[in-house]
Amino acid sequence: MVRGFLLLAVSAQAFGAAAPMRLSNPGLPLSRPQVGAIGASIVVPSAPGLKSTLALAPSLAPAMPVLAPVPQLKLAPALAAPAAPEAVPAAMPALQSLADQVQVRKDGADSKAMGEFYDRAGRGSDAVEAVAAEGDFGAPFRVPYDPKGQVDPAELGPNRTPGMKHEKDKAKDRLEDDQREMDELQQKLYAEGKRSVLIVIQAMDTGGKDGTIRWVLTGLNPQGVKVSSFKKPTAQEAKHSFLWRIKKALPGKGMIGVFNRSHYEDILVPTVYKTFSAEEVAKRYDTINAFEKKLAENGTVILKFFLNISKDEQKARLQERLDDPDKNWKFSEADLETRKHWDEFQRAYGQVLARTSTPWAPWHVIPANKKWYRNYAVARIIKEAMQRMDPRYPKVSFDPRTVVIPD
């Protein structure tokens, strides 16, 4: 049976601060979100000189000691109700959970705050397992939205294995279970034919983009999956807007699309090599955020993954490509040139992750030094997103019991 496509996008984008969002109540303009350790909040000017916050990810409250109830806020119904029945996909946990009301601490989403939470999850599995029990394994990996900030990938533990310790065999068994569930969900997604999944995968060279696609999506029907790889723009692509080639590769309804690198390259490279001004790069943040928001409103669930490896791990993987004749073809001297700019790319990624991890298209920073854990974590997050989508087989307009197939 034909399955549906799941489009995986790993990248981060900022939410345009210049254009405030508005509630269905026109009297309540929304300003730039303030962020806590995980998730984001909307700041609602309720009166001159008074601000209240409504968190975008209150479903994480059990694992988030920085959150506290704000009983006086009664804005959730206006925020939670989409304009159309399927305008906001059910697989977007940050938007879906707006019915709860919490207050986020004011010190913002710096890398230290995220690192502290991540470290707790890495040393002991209790935090991750507690969230996983609620069907949100990806919560500890999601980057807080901060339109003017950044995180430090090195502080987020590329060698850690939150929730799994070092149980490689157990992770592989769970991966196989998740793949079977993804296969069933893909069939329903395709049959339903109303929504799609976009998976974006970004990483430094040797970060494991190809391996993640190979091992995580094993078992899905190839007819329902479209993988697009984006490299240096061709002469034709360079004549168009940087999103031109991206739009051509988007998944159709019922499909799963995977981006191996993505439109985020058009922020990262100009930032590192300073081919664009800071103003031009900022415009691209806004453009991408608006673009992804439109996709989400039209029924595309966006999952972005940054596969986080260390500089030492990259060196080991490059050396392996030189030492193994069967992997020589993977080695490129261009990778060595890019490696010279490791620190610059890490800073650029840190900005991208914070400034484009919007509620409708959040970034997940996946510890990727250990390939087995990388595959397990990415697969589980995808599976849970599809479960929240809850795709269903369409109802038929006839009674199958009354149909007689002629001899």
DSSP character at residue 133: H
Tell whether 403 is covered by a domain. no
Tell whether 405 is covered by a domain. no
Tell whether 275 is covered by a domain. yes
Which residues on adjacent β-strands are paired with residue 301?
Answer: 197
Q: Tens-of-pLDDT digits for all 407 residues of the chain?
A: 444 444 444 443 333 333 333 333 333 333 333 332 333 333 333 333 333 333 333 333 333 333 233 333 232 232 233 333 333 344 344 333 322 322 222 233 344 444 444 444 343 344 444 445 556 899 999 999 889 889 999 998 999 998 887 789 999 999 999 999 999 999 999 999 999 999 999 999 999 999 999 999 998 999 999 999 999 999 999 999 999 999 999 999 999 999 999 999 999 999 999 999 999 999 999 999 999 999 999 999 999 999 999 999 999 999 999 999 999 999 999 999 999 999 999 999 999 999 999 999 999 999 999 999 999 999 999 999 999 999 999 999 999 999 999 99
Domain with 214 in it = 5-389
Sequential DSSP letters for 210-264: HHHHHHHSTTS-GGGEEEEE--SPPTTGGGS-TTHHHHHT---TTEEEEEES-TT
The predicted model scores a pTM of 0.71
Torsion angle (degrees, nearest 10) of CA 210, 230, 183, 161? 50
Tell whether 304 is covered by a domain. yes
For the chain, state the CA radius of gyration. 21
CA 89 to chain centre: 14
Tell whether 189 is covered by a domain. yes
What are 8's two structure tokens? Answer: 């995986």
Domain count, the chain: 1
Tell whether 181 is covered by a domain. yes
Tell whether 315 is covered by a domain. yes
Considering only CA atoms, which of 176, 184, 177 is closest in space to residue 3? 184
Tell whether 394 is covered by a domain. no
Considering only CA atoms, which of 299, 293, 359 is closest in space to residue 54? 359
CATH of residue 91:
3.40.50.300
- The enclosing H or E element of 296 equals helix 278-297
Which residues on adjacent β-strands are paired with residue 225?
Answer: 256
Burial of 80: CB neighbours in 10 Å, binned 0-12, 13-18, 19+: middle
